[in-house]
A and B are shown apart, each in its own frame.
Chain A
């Protein structure tokens, strides 16, 4: 059973860079597609982007200029960097994965990132 765990700072100052890591256990990072999804407090879900283990990525155009995703195969981790953050980037950030890029079979618990000075 694949399990995911997000880690990273809970508070980021504008206009710094938000950096999160997702650690995969119970499965190999090379076997699945990996995504990030965020949810502002009290609001709906927004897909941020996905990455395949060898580095192929697709990002949401609304965030594309600010996003970088990467994988660390030996550590079985993947990461998200979102630069130039503003208060609008305050959200619970979920890492998620699946056998394809289209749906999210399993999810991390999510981590709240607050952007505030």
Chain B
């Protein structure tokens, strides 16, 4: 299985800050990467797919980049509703696998 490793596991930031989360794949996955946001007690929501394509309805402060093994999710200006957990997911090789999650906390 392809292992997805996110860093950091948690990050403390303030409203208005720029935050970057990294996801590294254990082998080349091209641009077959998605990012999800999950709030407590809720299902994940798709933010970005194909590494950098914003899903419909997702605010433009979210952006994604990368290819191969290294990917980033950037939130350009944190809003109060953005303090939650984010997951990356690869869909290059079955079984699809997720990163362990990154929690964005209020500083």
Contacts and interface: CB of A to CB of B under 8 A. Distances in A.
Contacts of B107: none
Contacts of B43: 94, 96, 107-110
A96 B89 CA distance: 14
Interface residues of B, number: 21
A107 B95 contact: no
B34 interface: yes
Contacts of B12: none
A10 B91 CA distance: 30
Interface stretch (B13-21, B73-81, B96-104): B96-104
A45 B97 CA distance: 8
Interface of B: 32, 34, 36, 42-46, 49, 55, 87, 89, 91, 94-101
Interface of A: 37, 44-47, 58, 60-62, 94, 96, 101-105, 107-110
Given A60-B95, A110-B43, 12 more contacts: A44-B98, A44-B100, A44-B101, A45-B36, A45-B89, A101-B91, A102-B49, A103-B49, A104-B34, A104-B44, A105-B55, A107-B44
